[in-house]
Structure 1
């Protein structure tokens, strides 16, 4: 038995952010597997459905929701415990998706997995798909995987603020909120921070008072929020706008660029 899998980067969920390759891939899918996380993020499932309805030219596809395993309190874990918890989470997610493929998809069927932003950047889908392939391979099922890139939140952030991510001849460092304070150094160049649930950049205000921040939340969505300026000055506004988005949506997706001040 052989199953085709398209892992498709969908940017922010705006049909205008899809590449032609992504539109063609979506039109080839029979079954979209969607992680069902919790009621608070229900509108993320709706956004996916609306995106597909906007660009798919037939009605032969369907959505199958796969209950997502509990992730747990990541903020309370040290690095070793965090890595182990993520590994276990990926394994259980892969097991549930493998069961869904076996149950919902026939021979020569096509599965679609929709990835916010781009599958290459701080997203677990490709690792999960690799494990799904191992699990199904033991049952004689072969996965034929195609990955379609999308517009990342990092690209959108730079576009919205009309800046390049790097300065001339300087590097760009991409990291997470969990790692930011411990590894930050001016030698890193411009730093893009993702997966920061607590605005860890606040821990750099005293030691690096010249930092500028280019922040964005819900990039590409109707409630997009943008703030830029000296970190020490605009941090309260970022917190306020971040809290407002979370209160309205139940969730918030944000990222930001940190850059030593230019004096302009």
Structure 2
């Protein structure tokens, strides 16, 4: 997973971070796509530092860029093509115990302390989310039932979501390999209608929902749930929509418990 670069205290505005380009500015991860006028970072971290140029941000322009000349920020149309930088969060892929110690004893035989091995949280190419101690991976091109069956084969289920932070995490992961902005190319998650209720396929509690405006609709016809991961879809970004389960979706996200 990655996020367009940000910092709670400062943005390192450096030309050397970019490949040679004729651009005068580059994208950073601040936007007000969810609530107009309320700027936030794409990774959900606290929005504590700003560096807007005079007269910025302009109303109606929802994504932030940073000028190469002075590092000041400007609001721009999110569909513009610009250079960008991104930051990779620390990946706690392994949990290592402290160095082993041996209790002092008197003996003529050698005393050997055998350290425990470091244990990975997730299988290779899966991404760890510490809040639910779970591993996630994005796959592509399946109907909902086929996607769920595939996730079960991987040892998990289509992703359940239990907080705003986890929802943002799944949305960011779902943008993997998305070559162009297309609001219609959404992502299956593991919520499905069961009578008058919506239930997760992993049988966890439905304790968080994030429906798009006027959703869900078409009861009995659209029983599976998709996540809008595309930042260009201003009204539905990170929101959920119910859809016909036989729709072949661009992506789907599997979730399983960590292996550590």
Which entry has the higher C-alpha Rg, 1 or 2? Answer: 2
Higher relative contact order (CA 8 A, sep 6+): 1
Confirm or deny a common fold (TM above 0.5).
no
TM-score, normalised by the number of residues in structure 2: 0.30
